[in-house]
Amino acid sequence: MRITCLHTAASNIAVFDTAATALGISPGLMLHKVRADLLAAAEHAGQLTSEIAQATASALLDLAEQADAVVLTCSTLGPAIETLHSTRVPILRTDEALAATALKAVGKVVVLCAVQTTLEPTSRLFHTAEVQWVPGAWDLFKAGDIDGYLATIAKAADQAYTAGASVVVLAQASMSGAAARVTAGPPPLTSASAGLAAALQAISPPPTPQRHP
C-alpha cells in the first residue's frame, strides 16, 4: 500500500506524517510531492483558474501512476479533482473528507480558512456551516512565522467558540498545529487525519458478506 500526498507547502509533510502515525500508517507507506507553484499561481490570479486546475489534475494523475491512493491536501486546488472522472486509483481531497465529518456534527459549525482563495471552494463544501477567513494569518505563514500563524488561528478558534460555535473546523492542513492551542472549546477538527482515514477506507476492500446456512 502506498499513499501519495500532493502538498502546496513543504511544512505539511510533517503534519501528514504525524497524522499517518496516529492512524497506524507506516512512514514508509507515505510519499509526498510539493507543488508550491500551483498555490502561488492561484493566489496571483485571485482564484483557481482552469489552467491551474488542469495543471493540478495532471500532477495528480502522474502521482497516481505509482500509488494506491492520492490525497490532495490544498483546499484552494481541491476543485481540480472535479475535472477527473474514472481514475486507476482513488484521488481524494482532504477538505472533502473533513467536510463529511464536520457536517455530521450537531450545533453551529464554524470553519476557519487562512487563505482567501480557499473561501469559495470551502464554502461550497461546507454548505451548511459558517465559513470565516482569519485575516493576517497567511501573511505570517508565508513570512516563516509559524508560531505566530498557529497562535493567530488558535485565537480565531477561541473567538468562534466564545461566540457560540459548537464545532470549529480548521479547513487547511497547515492550520492543524493550532488545534492543541485552543482552550475555549474542544480541539478543532483538522483535515490531515480525515483525509488519510478516507484514503485508507478507499484502498481497503469492503468486507465480504457472511453467508448463513
Residue 179 covered by a domain: yes
Shared domain for 112 and 51, answered yes or no, is no
Question: How many helices and strands in the chain, by DSSP H and E?
Answer: 8, 8
Task: Provide the CATH number for the domain around residue 198.
Answer: 3.40.50
Shared domain for 86 and 135, answered yes or no, is no
One pLDDT digit (tens) per residue for the chain, 213 residues: 899 999 999 999 999 999 999 999 987 899 999 999 999 999 999 999 999 999 999 999 999 999 999 999 998 999 999 888 778 899 999 989 999 989 888 899 999 999 988 898 899 989 889 999 999 999 999 999 999 999 999 999 999 999 999 999 999 989 999 999 999 999 999 989 899 999 999 987 554 455 554
* CA–CA distance, 172 with 170 (Å, rounded to integer): 6
- Cell numbers for 20, please give them: 499517518
Shared domain for 11 and 35, answered yes or no, is yes
Shared domain for 101 and 86, answered yes or no, is no
Decide: 97 and 195 in contact? Cβ < 8 Å.
yes
Using alpha carbons, select from 77, 95, 71 the residue that is nearest to residue 16: 71
Domain that residue 120 falls in: 97-190
What is the count of structural domains for the chain?
A: 2
Question: Residue 181 burial by CB count (10 A; 0-12/13-18/19+): exposed, middle or buried?
Answer: middle
